[in-house]
C-alpha cells in the first residue's frame, strides 16, 4: 500500500511539473506574440511617419526648384545677350542688374524618423529591402547637403574676389564717389571687374543647374521609398 501511495505521489508530482512547464511555455509564447505585436506596431508607425515626412520633402523640393529655375533663367537671359556679337552695354547692364542670384535655405530632409531609426538601432525592425531603400535615401540626402555646402563656399570665394576689385562704398550705397581705379567698370566689357562678376554668375548658374539635377534624384528616391514602404497607391 505504501508503494502504491508513493507511485501515486510520484505521478502527481510529475503531472504538476508537466503543468508548470506547459504554463511556462504558454507564457513565453504569449510574451513572444506580444513583443512581435509591439515591434510590428512600431514598424507600422515608423513607416507611416516616414511616408508623411517624405511627402513634406517633395513639397520642399518643388519650392526650392521653382526658385532655382527662376533665378537660373534670369541668368541665362543675361548670358544670351552677353554672348551676342555686339551687345549694347546699357542693355547688358540692365539685364545683369535684373538677374536674380542668391543662396536659398539648404534643403534638409524632414525625415527625422529615419534619423531616429539609425540612432536607436530600430532600423533592424525593417526587412532587408526596406532597410536598403531607407539607407539609400539617406546617403543621397547626405550627398545633397555636402554639395550645397561646397557649392555655397565656392560662390562666396568668387564673390569675395569680386569685392576686392570694386568700390564697396558705392556698391552698398554709402557713397556716390566711385574710386577712379574702378570707375564705370559696369560699362566696360573688358574690365577685370566685369570678368570677376561674370565668374560669380557662372558659379551661381552652375549651382542652380547642379541642384536641379540632384533634387530630381532625391525626388525620385523619395517616391520610390514611399512605394517600398507601402504607399504606392497614393499620390
Rounded Cα–Cα distance for residues 110 and 50 (Å): 9
Confidence tier at 232 by pLDDT (50, 70, 90):
very low
Residue 147 has pLDDT above 90, yes or no: no
Q: What is the pTM of this model?
A: 0.76
Average pLDDT value for residue range 128-138 = 91
Contact 232, 130 (CB under 8 A): no
Q: 61: closest CA among 132, 152, 137?
A: 137
Average pLDDT value for residue range 156-167 = 94
Confidence tier at 6 by pLDDT (50, 70, 90):
low
Question: For the chain, what percent of residues have pLDDT higher than 90?
Answer: 56
Q: 94: closest CA among 104, 105, 82?
A: 82
Residue 99 has pLDDT above 80, yes or no: yes
Confidence tier at 233 by pLDDT (50, 70, 90):
very low
Contact 78, 95 (CB under 8 A): yes
pLDDT in tens, 172-197: 899 989 898 898 898 999 999 999 99
Cell of 55: 511627402
Q: Which residue has the cell 535684373?
A: 98
Question: For the chain, what percent of residues have pLDDT higher than 70?
Answer: 92
- What radius of gyration do the chain's Cα atoms show? 33
Confidence tier at 5 by pLDDT (50, 70, 90):
low
Q: Where are the beta strands (DSSP E) in the chain?
A: none
Rounded Cα–Cα distance for residues 11 and 29 (Å): 27
Instruction: Give φ, ψ of 86 to 5 degrees.
Output: -130, 75
Range ranked top by mean pLDDT from 15-19, 23-27, 139-143: 139-143
Amino acid at each position: 500500500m505504501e508503494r502504491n501511495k508513493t507511485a501515486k505521489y510520484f505521478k502527481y508530482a510529475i503531472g504538476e511539473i508537466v503543468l508548470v512547464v506547459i504554463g511556462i511555455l504558454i507564457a513565453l509564447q504569449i510574451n513572444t506574440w506580444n513583443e512581435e505585436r509591439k515591434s510590428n506596431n512600431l514598424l507600422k508607425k515608423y513607416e507611416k511617419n516616414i511616408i508623411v515626412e517624405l511627402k513634406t520633402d517633395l513639397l520642399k523640393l518643388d519650392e526650392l526648384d521653382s526658385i532655382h529655375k527662376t533665378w537660373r533663367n534670369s541668368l541665362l537671359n543675361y548670358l544670351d545677350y552677353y554672348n551676342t556679337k555686339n551687345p549694347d552695354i546699357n542693355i547688358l547692364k540692365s539685364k545683369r542688374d535684373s538677374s536674380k542670384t542668391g543662396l536659398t535655405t539648404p534643403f534638409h530632409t524632414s525625415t527625422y524618423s529615419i534619423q531616429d531609426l539609425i540612432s536607436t538601432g530600430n532600423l533592424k525592425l525593417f526587412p532587408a529591402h526596406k532597410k536598403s531603400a531607407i539607407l539609400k535615401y539617406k546617403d543621397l540626402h547626405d550627398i545633397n547637403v555636402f554639395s550645397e555646402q561646397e557649392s555655397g563656399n565656392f560662390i562666396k570665394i568668387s564673390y569675395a574676389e569680386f569685392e576686392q576689385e570694386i568700390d564697396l562704398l558705392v556698391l552698398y550705397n554709402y557713397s556716390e564717389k566711385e574710386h577712379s581705379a574702378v570707375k564705370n567698370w559696369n560699362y566696360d566689357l573688358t574690365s577685370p571687374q566685369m570678368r570677376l562678376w561674370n565668374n560669380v554668375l557662372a558659379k551661381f548658374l552652375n549651382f542652380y543647374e547642379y541642384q536641379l539635377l540632384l533634387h530630381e534624384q532625391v525626388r525620385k528616391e523619395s517616391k520610390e521609398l514611399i512605394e517600398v514602404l507601402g504607399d504606392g497607391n497614393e499620390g
